[in-house]
Each structure stands twice: as structure tokens, then as C-alpha cells.
Amino acid sequence: MPLNETHNPQLRSWVESANVPGSDFPIQNLPFGVFRMPGNPHLFRVGVAIGDQMVDITAAEAGGVFNGAGALAQAGAQACCRPNLNPFMALGAQAWSALRMALSQALREESPQQATLQASLLPQAGAEFAVPAHIGDYTDFYTSVHHASNIGKLLRPDNPLLPNYKWIPIGYHGRSSSIGVSGQAVRRPVSQIMRPGAIEPVMAPSARMDYELEVGIFMGPGNTLGDPVPLTQAEQHVFGLCLFNDWSARDVQGWEYQPLGPFLSKNFASTVSPWVVTLEALAPFREPWTRAAGDPQPLPYLDSAELRENGAINIELEVYIQSDTMRKEGLPEHRLSHSNFRDAYWSVSQMVTHHAANGCNLQAGDLLGSGTQSGPTEEEAGSLMELSKGGKQPLTLPSGETRTFLADGDTVIFRGACCAPGFVRIGFGEVRGTLLPAHPMR
């Protein structure tokens, strides 16, 4: 995605909250989501975040905001007059860019469309958000070599990193029906567990509940069944990115994951942030993608000059926790770790290309998870499994409580933002979820 006038750091909006330093949603961002207002009988609608407000695209289209913006922008706006983003995602990059340009121009200071568009603004506070798209299929990858190595050392000390890891973007097909939006209440799962030292498993609530700090990738136009997606075209099929918490039951996972990988340890819940940041908005934050000289270099179908030049994306990621006790005592959220998506071993384009290498037909609204994003240092671990060394080193919270894994009532919050010299910081908002007690055993 090339830079254009929407990335100009000098742009300011007539929506004053968008101009506040540190805002996640300045005019240079304009992410898409799906919402409805309390008490509103209408279906969910597509919105675009600007400061602490959002543009109701259906209302803006009805008000004629996009008249004269060009056929592509009008087609994009009309596709957004639906209860999810799938029709808009299916249109492709030219329509996405045209609508984003029209919104950028309408939201700028001294825009002649201010009076018309202002009637379509709604506050984000108090809105009810939904998963931005109907997710037909969900695939979770494993793109952080640091996370893979850390987990491997805990599970397989003599062979932490499996030999295929540096050759192939590893992934597994997950469950889309249990994916919820930020604010999701997650019930502690009950499943079969083999406890340490036991000779047979038991059916019990998971005692080792964890989060996984991930980036979600929403797909745009799909490919025809049987047709692969070349690496140089892969990002034309990607609509945008969000924050993603892939909740995990580690004790369930340890018992079930061989030989076919995760099952009940993962399919009970995953949570996405409500706003999807487009690849175009992320253009200023691209960085070279590198592979250490001593590591295997990608096979030709997963390599290109363009990938090497700007295949990585600089997204700063943070994990926070607030226990039930902390909330009652008025203590703020406590940061557990931070990392950066640019450290991923495999890029967004490589994930897409490998997924479709056998002709698998991706579709608009499909979701790819990046896998847990951990960095090279201990404080950059993207899961409690890593931070607590498999439960052997408890973490102390500001309330004096300790954690090796999550307790009932814990709220986990992810935040993400992009910063680069000469450009305006843009954010992803947040994704949060709270762990509830397991249902009573029958």
C-alpha cells in the first residue's frame, strides 16, 4: 500500500477529540467496525472511528455525504450499509482506499461536508459492538519464533523448536463460532485433563487458564478454489488487522495436542477488538522483513524483494491485567508485558500465500490469527505460560496477589499502537475479556 495524502501528519479533523495527542483514532487512521446504539431497533451498522466518535456509514450515505466522491467510494459506502463488513471486504483494495479517502476529506478541518457529516456522528461510549465480520473460517498460525522456542523449552526441553518451524508457517484450523468481540465474558472450560503424576485423566475445570497476545488478520477478496495466491499479490487479499486474544487452557492442551494439535483447549473462546485497522492506514509503519543469515531462507514461493523491503509491520503490543480484587480496591490495570509484531518470524503475506498454496479458497471475512507475539526478552512474553515459566515462577500483582495462570474474575486487556518518526501515531483501541468461573460439574 503506497503512501498518499491520507497519511499526511499535518492533517487535522473538525472532530476535536481526533486531534488530541495519543488518540488511537486520529484522522490518519479511520478503522472500520460494527456497532449499534442502546435501545436502537436497527440492525448492527458499519462505523468508522474518529477520535472518541464514529461515523455511521449508513446515515452518511443516506445524507449524500459520498455524492460526488466517485463510483468506487460510492460503491464502498453502499457495501457498508449492511450489518457486517463482509460485502465491503469483498470489494477489494481500490474500493477500500476510495472510501477511506472520501472519509478523510470529509472529516478534515474546514471541510465543506462538515455540517452534513456531523449529523452522522455518534459517540463510541455506550455503543454495543459486534465482531466486525461474519467469520466463515478461522486459522491460527504460530509466527513468533520466540514464543515457539519458549513454549518448546517448557514442553520439550531436549527439542524445543521442531525442525519444520523455520521452513513453513505453522497453523491449525480453529473454531469461528466461539469468537466474540471485546468485552466478552469467557467461561472457564471443563475438559479432560491428565494431572501430573496421574495414571488416568479426569474431567475437570482447567486450572491453567492463559491468554495469547495475537494480531488478527481479516481477509478481503478470496481466491478461487484450486488457485494459489502469489506472495506479490497476497496483501491485495488482506483488508486489515485487529487485536486478538486466543484464550488457552494449558492443562487441556498438554494432554490433547498430540498428535493432531489443539482442540478443546482453544475452541471455547477467542476475542477480537472491535476496530479493524486497514493495511492502507498501516503503510507508514512498514519495515524490512529479515531472516537471520544462519537460518534457512524461505522457499521461493515465500520470498520476494518486496517482502524483504517492507514485509514487517511495526505494531507495539501490550498486555494488562486487572483482578477482581484490584477492581474492588480501585487499583488500575497492571501491565504484564509488551512486544512488537515486527518480530514475527513469518509475515502477513507469507501466512496468506502459504494458506492458499494448495488452492485452499480463502473468503472475505475469514480470520487468520498470528499466533502469540513474544519478543526476544523475558518481559516481551505474550502469555502467562511463558512469564511464569510454566507455572513455576509466580507473578505478583499490585494488590499483593500472585498469578501463575489466570484466576476467575481476572480481566485481560490488550492494546496496540503504531509509531514512526514523521508520522502520526495510530492505535487499535483495545480488546478485553473477563474470565468467569466454570459451570458446576454435573
The 3-state secondary structure of 292-325 reads: CCCCCCCCHHHCCHHHHHHCEECCEEEEEEECHH
What does the alpha-carbon distance between residue 99 and residue 113 come to, in Å, rounded to a whole number? 15
pTM, full prediction? 0.97
What does the alpha-carbon distance between residue 183 and residue 135 come to, in Å, rounded to a whole number? 18
Q: What is the pLDDT of residues 27-73, one digit of tens each?
A: 999 999 999 998 877 789 999 999 999 999 999 999 999 999 999 99
How far is residue 321 CA from its own chain's centroid? 18
Please report the pLDDT score of residue 40 as a whole number.
Answer: 78
The answer to the question of residue 442 being in a domain is no
Instruction: Let me know if 162 is exposed, middle or buried by CB neighbors in 10 A (0-12, 13-18, 19+).
Output: exposed
Q: Are residues 384 and 422 in the same domain?
A: yes
Please report the pLDDT score of residue 258 as a whole number.
Answer: 85
Q: Are residues 152 and 124 in the same domain?
A: no
Sorting pLDDT into bands at 50, 70 and 90, what band is 319?
very high
Please report the pLDDT score of residue 43 as a whole number.
Answer: 87
Buried-exposed string 282-308: b where 16+ CB fall within 10 A, e elsewhere: bbbbbeebeeeeeeeebeeebbbeebe
Sorting pLDDT into bands at 50, 70 and 90, what band is 122?
very high
Q: Are residues 82 and 168 in the same domain?
A: no
**The domain containing residue 26 runs over which residues?**
5-129
Q: What is the pLDDT of residues 363-407, one digit of tens each?
A: 999 999 999 999 999 999 999 999 999 999 999 999 999 999 999
What does the alpha-carbon distance between residue 114 and residue 360 come to, in Å, rounded to a whole number? 45
**Mean pLDDT, residues 117-126:** 96
Please report the pLDDT score of residue 441 as a whole number.
Answer: 77
Please report the pLDDT score of residue 103 as a whole number.
Answer: 98
What does the alpha-carbon distance between residue 86 and residue 415 come to, in Å, rounded to a whole number? 25
Q: Are residues 316 and 285 in the same domain?
A: yes
Please report the pLDDT score of residue 340 as a whole number.
Answer: 98
What does the alpha-carbon distance between residue 249 and residue 363 come to, in Å, rounded to a whole number? 29
Q: Are residues 59 and 82 in the same domain?
A: yes
Q: 129, 150, 169 — which closes off a domain? A: 129
Q: What is the dihedral of CA 156, 158, 161, 167, to 10 degrees?
A: -130
The residues, any chain, with a CB within 8 Å of residue 400's CB and separated by 6 or more, are none
Sorting pLDDT into bands at 50, 70 and 90, what band is 2?
confident
Q: Are residues 102 and 212 in the same domain?
A: no
The answer to the question of residue 326 being in a domain is yes
Q: 129, 151, 178 — which closes off a domain? A: 129
The answer to the question of residue 59 being in a domain is yes
Q: Are residues 341 and 240 in the same domain?
A: yes
Q: Are residues 43 and 143 in the same domain?
A: no
**Which one, of 93, 90, 98, 80, lies nearest residue 35 by Cα?**
80
Lowest mean pLDDT among 10-19, 159-168, 320-329, 334-343: 159-168
Q: Are residues 120 and 26 in the same domain?
A: yes
Lowest mean pLDDT among 152-161, 211-220, 330-339: 152-161
Please report the pLDDT score of residue 392 as a whole number.
Answer: 96
The answer to the question of residue 402 being in a domain is yes
- 147 given a catalytic annotation: yes
Half-sphere exposure of 393 (CA within 13 A, CB side): 8
For residue 247, what is the domain's CATH number?
3.90.850.10
Residue 59, phi then psi, degrees to nearest 5: -65, -40
Percentage of the chain beyond pLDDT 90 is 93
What does the alpha-carbon distance between residue 317 and residue 39 come to, in Å, rounded to a whole number? 34
The number of folded domains in the chain is: 2
The answer to the question of residue 196 being in a domain is yes
Active-site residue among 7, 42, 146, 147? Answer: 147
The answer to the question of residue 441 being in a domain is no
Q: Are residues 144 and 125 in the same domain?
A: no
Q: Are residues 31 and 53 in the same domain?
A: yes
**Mean pLDDT, residues 100-125:** 96
Mean pLDDT of the chain: 96
**Mean pLDDT, residues 244-263:** 93
Sorting pLDDT into bands at 50, 70 and 90, what band is 304?
very high
What does the alpha-carbon distance between residue 218 and residue 277 come to, in Å, rounded to a whole number? 10
Please report the pLDDT score of residue 391 as a whole number.
Answer: 95
Q: 129, 164, 196 — which closes off a domain? A: 129
For residue 11, what is the domain's CATH number?
2.30.30.230
Q: Examine the pLDDT at 1 and tell me if it is beyond 80.
A: no
Please report the pLDDT score of residue 157 as a whole number.
Answer: 84
The answer to the question of residue 300 being in a domain is yes
**Using H for helix, E for strand and C for coil, what is the string for the chain?**
CCCCHHHCCCCCECCHHHHCCCCCCCCCCCCEEEEECCCCCCCCEEEEEECCEEEEHHHHHHCCCCCCCCHHHHHHHHHCCCCCCHHHHHHCHHHHHHHHHHHHHHHECCCCCHHHHHCCEEECCCCEECCCCCCCCEEEECCCHHHHHHHHHHHCCCCCCCCCCCCCCCEEECCCCCEEECCEEEECCEEEECCCCCCCCEEEECCCEECCEEEEEEECCCCCCCCCCCHHHHHHHEEEEEEEECCEEHHHHHHHCCCCCCCCCCCCCEEECCCEEECCCCHHHEECCCCCCCCCCCCHHHCCHHHHHHCEECCEEEEEEECHHHHHCCCCCEEEEEEEHHHCCCCHHHHHHHHCCCCCCCCCCCEEECCCCCCCCHHHCCCHHHHCCCCCCCEECCCCCEECCCCCCCEEEEEEEECCCCCCCEEEEEEEEEEECCCCCC
Q: Are residues 338 and 413 in the same domain?
A: yes
Q: Examine the pLDDT at 305 and tell me if it is beyond 90.
A: yes
What does the alpha-carbon distance between residue 442 and residue 439 come to, in Å, rounded to a whole number? 9
Between helix 93-107 and helix 71-79 the angle, nearest 10°, is: 90
